[in-house]
Chain A
């Protein structure tokens, strides 16, 4: 299979997709270490994109009543409520003496808060598998669904290794974060980044964000926050690098993120090959089924 049939094989997905005058690729860097869980991003996203309400039930999961990303939730703030080993109640970074360890309390908890979003993968499985061309790569290097072309086949949903895109039950079409394509076109930053009061969500050229993120991890490590790590930042990870990447304070799976996502189409050449061999063996065994009885009959006659 030709490499250029995939949504992007290099690090410049917009140009790979045929945008000749593409501006620098943009993205999100979400620094969860400063997230205060105010959900301004969730609200701003809903407001700007006019996303319908998607259920008003309580989940019982800490302060998280949205549950996860979906067709009508394009930013989702996770609230991880964790018992702490020391037994002390703590906020991730607000701790007078991290090393000392205080008096043990049975109810010690810490909260990790993180605003999740579509990763706008460099190699986007959702885009690769869409049969209608409804999902496309924008000139900014992001991934967007065109509502008027999506026919609701739903293959993009299980294809996404991050569980982001989803069909809206009411009309069957697929929806997800567009990184505010309309705002980008007007030279504005996305609504969530604009609304975030702590600058936990940072928007900008991806290269710049990657540099800034590396500095931030270093700073946190120097301050003794050794558990700080970046997620999705390497350009050579399973999806060719995330257009939206994160600074986390625990393992990705704690936040509901996959530890080692891989673009599903990576194995597609092997899949087509095996399907081809299987198809040939089907034809072969069918032929055999006509030859064998003929042979045994001839033998019996002799």
Chain B
């Protein structure tokens, strides 16, 4: 979609003293972008853990189960920390509301958390293998949803850089989550077990590039919020780290323990940068009235042109 240059600019200034039209979320980047990253790491990690379990890669499976439990624990802590009144957290489960991604997420988290916990405890202790297998399966089934629902949480807002890409964002989050989980598997798993992680890292990096390009194409003029400032720096770092991590994993990940661990850490860092970058782009787009007014004026112009 190209910007509509034929449109005559409206009379008068474009904004009220340059003040934002919508309110940016007051979420702290550390808590909420951190929550996005940790949720993705946990969710995709549970899927890889189940696969590793099924294919007899038990060391990797156990390590991933423990990392998923740690990640989901930390993510819940981040979420609760971000509430102005943590004591009110139980209100989150007062209603079941599909129109509220935050409500669906709370329910998802309260189903996934115990499953991931049981899977990790059974694997680490070696007790109750049957229950452990059931919990592993449950966590693997809920994991993908945990990794992608946060995209809906961000997109179901009036924030131009998020809502504008409500179709593309879930794929970016899925790719980023897979990148993080494969990175974790590379970092913690033994060499002879890491073939699937190397493969997942490559797929995740490819999907990441494709999804990010789709995001920038869809956003048109608002795409600058992903390219400039803090978000731009983070997104560039994310791209470099993810590419380096995936390349390192594919080329050297099967030969050297150090190379596998390094590639894994790069993938983890790349995924974190993606989440913090997306978060920063959203804030930047909410704070600049041009990103709210511009696309909306174009929508009006398109509608009037249509009805004529």
Give 7 closest A-B pairs by Cβ, nearest first. Answer: A172-B84, A256-B16, A152-B84, A151-B88, A279-B144, A293-B195, A131-B103
Binary flags per residue of A209-226, CB closer than 8 Å to B gives 1, else 0: 000000000000000000
A134 to B103 CA separation, bound complex (whole angstroms): 12
Task: Please tell me if the beta carbons of B200 and A289 are within 8 angstroms of each other in the complex.
Answer: yes
Task: Please tell me if the beta carbons of B51 and A286 are within 8 angstroms of each other in the complex.
Answer: yes
Residue of B10, B16, B157, B199 near A78 (CB, 8 A) is: B16
A281 to B52 CA separation, bound complex (whole angstroms): 18
Please tell me if A274 contacts chain B, counting CB pairs below 8 Å.
Answer: yes
Tell me, rounded to whole Å, the shortest Cβ–Cβ distance linking A3 to chain B.
11
B203 and chain A: residue at smallest CB distance: A285
Contacts of B106 in A (CB 8 A): 131
Task: Please tell me if the beta carbons of B102 and A286 are within 8 angstroms of each other in the complex.
Answer: no
A68 to B156 CA separation, bound complex (whole angstroms): 23
Please tell me if A259 contacts chain B, counting CB pairs below 8 Å.
Answer: yes
Interface size in chain B (residues, C-beta < 8 A)? 88
- Given A130-B100, A153-B83, A253-B14, A282 and B147 touching (CB < 8 A)? yes
Please tell me if B226 contacts chain A, counting CB pairs below 8 Å.
Answer: no
Q: What is the total of A-B residue contacts with beta carbons within 8 Å?
A: 266
Contacts of A1 in B (CB 8 A): 98-99
Can you show 16 pairs from A to B with CB atoms below 8 A apart?
A128-B100, A133-B95, A151-B91, A157-B26, A158-B286, A159-B156, A160-B22, A172-B84, A253-B13, A255-B16, A260-B300, A261-B296, A268-B156, A274-B167, A278-B170, A282-B43
Task: Please tell me if the beta carbons of B99 and A158 are within 8 angstroms of each other in the complex.
Answer: no
- Given A80-B16, A256-B16, A278 and B99 touching (CB < 8 A)? no
B40 and chain A: residue at smallest CB distance: A282
Contacts of A292 in B (CB 8 A): 196, 199
A289 to B205 CA separation, bound complex (whole angstroms): 13
Contacts of A167 in B (CB 8 A): 26, 84
Within 8 A of B (CB), among A282-298: 282-283, 285-290, 292-294, 297
A36 to B129 CA separation, bound complex (whole angstroms): 75
Task: For the A-B complex with A256-B19, A280-B144, A289-B48 known, give 20 more contacts whose Cβ atoms are closer than 8 Å.
Answer: A129-B156, A131-B100, A131-B103, A132-B95, A133-B94, A149-B94, A152-B88, A153-B102, A157-B26, A251-B11, A251-B12, A258-B292, A264-B157, A271-B101, A275-B152, A275-B170, A282-B178, A289-B200, A290-B52, A293-B196
Residue of A158, A280, A286 near B159 (CB, 8 A) is: A158
Within 8 A of B (CB), among A75-131: 78, 80, 82, 125, 128-131
Tell me, rounded to whole Å, the shortest Cβ–Cβ distance linking B83 to chain A.
5
Task: Please tell me if the beta carbons of B85 and A159 are within 8 angstroms of each other in the complex.
Answer: no
Interface residues of B (CB under 8 A from A): 10-17, 19-27, 43-44, 47-48, 51-52, 54-55, 82-85, 88-89, 91-92, 94-95, 97-103, 105-106, 140, 144-145, 147-149, 151-153, 155-159, 163, 166-171, 173-174, 177-178, 182, 195-200, 203-204, 207, 282, 286, 289, 292-293, 296-297, 299-300
Task: Please tell me if the beta carbons of B296 and A259 are within 8 angstroms of each other in the complex.
Answer: yes
Please tell me if A265 contacts chain B, counting CB pairs below 8 Å.
Answer: yes
Residue of A61, A163, A172 near B83 (CB, 8 A) is: A172
Task: Please tell me if the beta carbons of A129 and B102 are within 8 angstroms of each other in the complex.
Answer: yes
Tell me, rounded to whole Å, the shortest Cβ–Cβ distance linking B65 to chain A.
15
A125 to B169 CA separation, bound complex (whole angstroms): 20
Contacts of B149 in A (CB 8 A): 275
Tell me, rounded to whole Å, the shortest Cβ–Cβ distance linking B172 to chain A.
9
Task: Please tell me if the beta carbons of A290 and B13 are within 8 angstroms of each other in the complex.
Answer: no
Task: Please tell me if the beta carbons of B153 and A155 are within 8 angstroms of each other in the complex.
Answer: yes
Contacts of A271 in B (CB 8 A): 101, 151-152, 155-156, 166-167, 170
Residue of B23, B100, B299 near A157 (CB, 8 A) is: B23
A169 to B84 CA separation, bound complex (whole angstroms): 8
A163 to B23 CA separation, bound complex (whole angstroms): 5
Task: Please tell me if the beta carbons of B289 and A253 are within 8 angstroms of each other in the complex.
Answer: yes
